[in-house]
Amino acid sequence: MILLINAAFLLTTHLVMTTALNIVDWRNQTTYWDARTGGIYALVLHHTVTPTAQGTLDVLNTRRLSIHYIADKNGTIYQTVDEANRAWHTGTGVWGNFVDMNDVSVGIEIVNSGDEPFPEVQEMAVAALSKAIVGRYGILPKNIVSHADFDPRNKEDVSGYF
Ligand SMILES: [Zn+2]
């Protein structure tokens, strides 16, 4: 069974810890993004279903989609789109006054089947990355969301294990 839990609350509980980030540059691995025309106001968390970071990137490329960051199980973060650019990860769904979440968000794909716990080292890496992004743009807690938060009919990520 998959439970959906408020992502902002769970992230906040992890934010007290600080973790050194290991970010690998994969920004030459995708062309499926475009220029951002407005500001950044939201952070969107997904889980991948695909079991590896490379597999996740391959699936995104096949579907002509993209994400800013892929967080691997060992805590390594792969950056595939610059935050200044608009990644293609949210599909449909609105959140508050935001009609296109791709316009206003930074996205993180967390490597996870959706039916397994998240390793501590991975949770810590995602929390540290999230804290950095939230700090850079002054993102409000209410705008730290799971994909399922704003598209509950179509999406069930991030799973309640996070
Ligand atoms: Zn998603």
For the stretch 85-109, what's the b/e string if a residue is b when 16 or more beta carbons lie within 10 angstroms of its beta carbon? ebbbbbeebebeebeebbbbbbbbb
Higher pLDDT, 154 or 119: 119
What residues are paired with 44 via a beta bridge?
A: 107, 145
Catalytic residue flag (residue 123) = no
pLDDT at res. 7: 60
User: Which domains occur in the chain, in start order?
Assistant: 7-30+37-150 (3.40.80.10)
DSSP string across 150-161: H-TTT--PSPTT
| Phi, psi angle pair for 107, to nearest 5° | -115, 145
Structure confidence by residue, pLDDT tens digits, 106-132: 999 999 988 899 999 999 999 999 999
- Cα 46 to middle of ligand 1, angstroms: 4
pTM higher than 0.75: yes
- Catalytic member of 83, 109, 120, 156: 109
Contact status, residue 30 vs residue 57, Cβ threshold 8 Å: yes
- Cα 48 to middle of ligand 1, angstroms: 7
